[in-house]
Each structure stands twice: as C-alpha cells, then as structure tokens.
Amino acid sequence: MTSEGVEVGRIGDGLCCLVGFTHDDDASMVPKMADKLWNLRIIDDADGVMNRSVADTSKALLLVSQFTLYGDARKGRRPTWINAARPEHAEPLFTELVNALISRGATVETGRFRTEMQVGLINDGPATVMLEL
C-alpha cells in the first residue's frame, strides 16, 4: 500500500481489512472487532475448507481506514458520506483497533490516515466478507 507515492504498509499472506467507522461507534466495540478479525475462520486448511484464522496462520493484517464504506448512493447519482464518522472520531478508534490486534500477537500494517492511498491486493480465493458489529 502506498500513500503519496511512498510505501507505507505491506504484508504477505494474511487479511486485508477495509475499516470504516460511523458516528455511533465507540471504544467499547473495539475489543469485539479485534477478536472477530483475529479469530475469523476464513483461511483454508489443508483440505481446502475455510477453517483457519489469521491467528492460526500468518498473524498478518493490513488495515486500511476507509470512510467510503459508509457511502450511501440510494438517492441521486452522487454518494453521500454523512454516515461516516468524522476523522477526529474515527482515527482514535482505528488506532485503538490496531493496538488491540497487536496486543493479541498480530503483525499489523496500516496506511496513513487522511491521505489518498493506493492498495494492491491479491485476493486468494477470492473471499470477501463484510462484518458489521
């Protein structure tokens, strides 16, 4: 992942997590979110069954702050991001999530908050899961 032309985060095998927060989110949800990402059985075992977690395998996560996940395009032709948390609310929650994962033993790479980033991804599977807590 690059930001302003500089590589700021890179993992090998692991999970790439696009993370967005809304106005109602608070610090009480961070431990649950960290546990879910850490223990989510979404990685194939030797038999090709999604039965392993990042905790069982590489322990690597690439977390990308992504307010656009809360884009709402139900009306008109231009999305609104009114449901996305303001940066001053979201950034401390994002940092707390990173720290919660590190405390569980994760290797966490991130981008830079409030910058335009380019994310390269090889989606092995592909498997994409949306989690809302």
Fill in the DSSP letter of residue 85: P
Reply yes or no on whether 94 is catalytic.
Answer: no
Catalytic, out of 68, 80, 115, 118: 68
Strands (E), the chain: 2-3, 6-7, 15-19, 43-44, 50-52, 60-65, 107-110, 117-118
Fill in the DSSP letter of residue 86: P
Q: What angle do CA 79, 118, 43 make, to 5 degrees?
A: 95
Reply yes or no on whether 95 is catalytic.
Answer: no
Catalytic, out of 2, 21, 22, 66: 66
Reply yes or no on whether 66 is catalytic.
Answer: yes
Cβ atoms of 108 and 61 closer than 8 Å: yes
Kindly report the number of other CB atoms within 10 A of residue 66's CB atom: 19
User: How many Cα atoms sit within 13 Å of 47 on the Cβ side?
Assistant: 3
Catalytic, out of 2, 21, 22, 67: 67
Which positions are annotated as active-site residues?
66-68
